[in-house]
Structure 1
Amino acid sequence: MSTPSRLGLLRDPDFGRLFAATALGQLGDRIIFLALPLVAITALNADEFQVGLLTAMTTAGSLLVGLPAGAWVDRMPKRSVMVSADLARAVVLLTIPVAWWSGLLTIGWLYAVALVHGVLTVFFDVAYVSYLPHLVGRGNLVEGNSKLSAIRSVTSISGPGMAGPLVGWLGAPATLLVSSVGMAMSGLLAIRIRRREQKREPSERPRLLRDIKEGLKFVLRHPILRSIILGDAIFNLSLVMYQTMLLAFLEREIKLESFGIGLILSGMGCGALLGALSATRVSKRVGQGRVIWLAPLATCPLTVLMPLAHPGWTLYVAALGLASLSLGGVIRFVAQSSVQQTLTPDRLLGRMSATARFVSWGGIPLGGLLGGVSGSVFGAKATLWIGAAGMTSSVLPYFLSPLRGMRELRELPKEEGPELVR
């Protein structure tokens, strides 16, 4: 695919449709991030443990269907999986405002919706990651990931900024109606993408366990892929512990209302946007491999500023620390996603994505539970300290791998695979 202008891939109509669908879907998703816990906190008076359990339910899909999802997606039209998952998620989210208006909403209902929504998100994300190399070509993966990260970052700014006032105006349950509409529009836009991946005729009868095993072996035996998912696992578990208590800390200890919480989360989105806009340039200057560990090393320690904060100027400084975390996180994500996709053959893309998600995201439900338990026993502030320390330690697997000195991947003939360039 040629990218002759500054717009690059956005000149391609199909990538433009994926870009727009990503914007709408991510907008709905960012509103969920703020509104769903606030439904539990404000509408149902949930305690810290219940909020942590809700977070665990939201991400439990990675453990329940993470590995088989990759094997299934590798044998299915990936665009169709994305469309179906988006439309199904829209319907599931719609049940929360309906139940609330009917007087039937309970914490159990929220748990069920969070679990089903999380399972559908696993299928969507595996298909999404696997479809991008087919849509843009492997030579354009860094640009494609960077542009999609940029629009996700924009929605990280606008989503909480919209959600805060909407929650205050409509209430948290009704705000999820906006999320449902965003998911539905994302699915409808994805239907219009014309380019399909080349249909692969299986050489033998599909066997789920054999296919899962093949994906696991490929990822876990590869030193770079293995280090990436291990670092991600430590980071994600710690981040979820941190995030689980962040809303409770801001709402109950700093005494922020939903609008103020939305502004802080929007600030994180600003950092993510700067990271997406600079990811390609930083990767070229520092090295695609080195930036994967240097970015979190420079930004994760700044998360300790939040538990040190009080109402006033220290809170603003802590918000800048969270924005820096998002900036480094997106730079790392763009670089490592492109490395993962480049290192993986087409036929294993779904299983690579699912295996990486299963291992690196598998600890997220545990992180939600640990965050809830820690918040109940030690308090929200202490849990933020624990999460900050864990995120900083996630740098070690990257640093102790070939990524430490790797600059970029140079493509070799397909049967040989990529070569590390130091």
Structure 2
Amino acid sequence: MSVLHAGGFQVGLVTAAGFVAWLLIGLPAGVLVQRLPLRGTQVAMDLVRAAAIGSVPLAAAFGTLSLVHLVVVALLVSLASVVFDVGNSTFLPTVVPREQLTARNSLTSGTHAVNQLAGPSIGGALVQLLGAATALVTDAVSYLLSAALLRTLPRAAAADRPAPGQTPSVAAQIGEGWRYVTRHPVVGPCVAMATSVNFVCGALMTLTPVFLVRTLGAPAGVVGVLMATEGIGSLLGAALTPRLSSRLGSARALLLAPVVGAALALLMPMATPGAGLLLFAVGNAGFAAGVVVLSIVTRTHRQSTVPAELLPRVMATVRFVSWGAIPIGALLAGSAASLWGARTALWAACALTAVAPLVLLCSRVRGLRRLDELDAPHAPAA
């Protein structure tokens, strides 16, 4: 965005475009994942993302890069990522025993955290060396590598197809997943909590670069390091989740994580140039750790308790609702930054982190030790 000298609202617009696809196709994505060949679909989505991102440095080289181009690229990447991510979230429980899901989900989140940790730092260095647009070439190459690796995996077994005329409509299948999520005594409140958290995450995606660059005057390399602290927090959260779930119980770990994360998030808007940047680093890492714990715990619960035939649609519904809050948070944060300044907008976003623990405290999760305690006697009919 520095190439186009974009302000807070423009940054928010591009950030929102990167997640708005969950609002556009989030619900039918679960049905698509069940009906299409999984490996071929994921390879195709990687190729789409590589082509879209690769067009940015190409346009920059010819001097035609514009804000509209960036928004379109973000939207294309987002649409492809929706289908890809729903497929990934339903694959793990088919190959991992239930008792290992928490550990495997933690490992997956830990791997993502390593990418968060190394990516911004390397990205900041590449931006300084090559320029912002040219640095995106490495991102495009990563999707090509992902597609090549996916091609080495065995094809998934073909799903049993219903007899002609007996295939439920897309709307009926979407409705089945929606009713399960909204009526479930654990999944429902967890989705509400995740939605509030993701609203804040969307706001932080917009506000963090604007706050660090425009308000604190940090250079690109330092911004990369500070944003990488999110990866440190995510890695810590992923490492702690199995132990917290085992010792405290999954429900109590879920209650603890957003409380700690919300308290530490308030350090971010207190940051000042120089040594005061450490406050941002600690706050960013602490909030990320809390987000990862609740993500692993709730995802493991869904994978281990939702009926297999409903899981893709339940996952898609959860993502549609909770991730749909990200573009809304991004746009509102961008507008707030333009009106009141980045620091004030960041204070407001961090204050909203208190909503997540309040949602759980007002639900039946409050009295549980483990999230699956309500599933056997109370799981709702789809």
Q: Give TM-score scaled by structure 2 length.
A: 0.94
**Alignment partners' CA distance in 1, 2:208 and 2:373:** 43
Q: What residue ranges of structure 2 are gaps of 5+ in the alignment?
A: none
- Determine the structure 1 residue equivalent to 2:140: 180
Structure-1 separation of matches of 2:358 and 2:285 = 22
The amino acid that maps onto 2:179 is: K
Aligned pair 1:306/2:268, yes or no?
A: yes
The answer to whether structure 1 residue 391 and structure 2 residue 357 are counterparts is no
Show the counterpart of 1:244.
Answer: 206
Contact 1:78–1:131 (8 Å) recurs in 2: no
Query: 2:30 corresponds to which letter in structure 1?
Result: G
State the Cα distance separating 1:239 from its structure 2 match: 2.1
RMSD: 1.8
Q: 1:289 aligns with which of 251, 270, 278?
A: 251
Q: CA offset at residue 410 of structure 1? A: 6.0
From the superposition, tell whether residues 74 and 333 of structure 1 become closer, same or farther in structure 2 (CA, over 3 Å): same
Rounded Cα–Cα distance in structure 2 between residues aligned with 1:325 and 1:241: 13
Map 1:228-243 to 2 at 5 A.
228-243=190-205
Give the conservation status (yes or no) of the 8 Å contact 1:168–1:259.
Answer: yes
For the structure 1 residues 115 and 419, does the alpha-carbon distance in structure 2 shift closer, same or farther, using more than 3 Å as the test?
same
Contact 1:242–1:383 (CA<8 Å) still a contact in 2?
no
1:369-380 correspondence runs (5 A)? 369-380=331-342
Structure 1 unpaired stretches of 5+:
1-39
Matched with 1:124 is 84
Mapped partners of 1:340, 1:326: distance in 2: 21
Q: Report the counterpart of residue 74 of structure 1 in structure 2.
A: 34
Partner residue, 1:278: 240
Aligned to 1:44: 4
Shift of 1:248: 0.6
- Report the 3-state secondary structure (helix = DSSP H, G, I; strand = E; otherwise coil) of the residue aligned with 1:223: coil
Q: What is the deviation of 1:47?
A: 1.6
Q: How does 1:145-224 map to 2 (within 5 A)?
A: 145-194=105-154, 196-197=156-157, 199-202=159-162, 204-224=166-186
Matched AA of 1:150: G
Query: 1:316 — aligned with what?
Result: 278
- Which amino acid is 2:75 matched to? L
Q: 2:223 aligns with which of 240, 261, 286?
A: 261
Distance 1:190 1:73 in 2: 16
- For the pair 1:227 / 2:189, whether they are aligned, the reply is yes
Q: In the aligned structure 1, how far is the partner of 2:265 from the partner of 2:292?
A: 16
Q: Secondary structure at the match of 2:18?
A: helix
Contact 1:61/1:122, CA 8 A, preserved across alignment:
yes
Highest RCO, 1 vs 2 (Cα 8 Å, sep ≥ 6): 2
Letter in structure 1 aligned against 2:177? G
The AA in structure 1 aligned to 2:19 is T
Q: Distance in 1 between matches of 2:72 and 2:136?
A: 15
User: Partners in 2 of 1:408 and 1:383 — Cα distance?
Assistant: 36
Q: Deviations over 1:3-28 (max 9, x none)?
A: xxxxxxxxxxxxxxxxxxxxxxxxxx
Pick closer, same or farther for the CA change 1:231–1:399 going to 2, 3 Å: same
Give TM-score, length-normalised by structure 1: 0.85
CA distance in 2, matches of 1:320, 1:75: 44
Match of 1:104 among 45, 64, 68: 64
Q: Distance in 2 between matches of 1:284 and 1:302?
A: 24
Question: CA separation in 2, counterparts of 1:160 and 1:97?
Answer: 18
Q: Deviation at 1:205?
A: 1.6
Q: Distance in 2 between matches of 1:78 and 1:418?
A: 31
Pairing 1:347–2:274 present: no
Which residue of the partner structure matches residue 335 of structure 1?
297
- Aligned-pair identity (%): 36
Shift of 1:115: 0.7
**Does the 8 A contact of 1:304 with 1:384 survive in 2?**
no
Rounded to whole Å, the distance in 2 between the matches of 1:192 and 1:340 is 28
CA separation of 1:312 and 1:83: change in aligned 2, threshold 3 A? same
Selected match of 2:75 from 115, 121, 128? 115
Alpha-carbon separation, structure 2, partners of 1:70 and 1:201: 16
Alpha-carbon offset, residue 313 of structure 1: 2.3
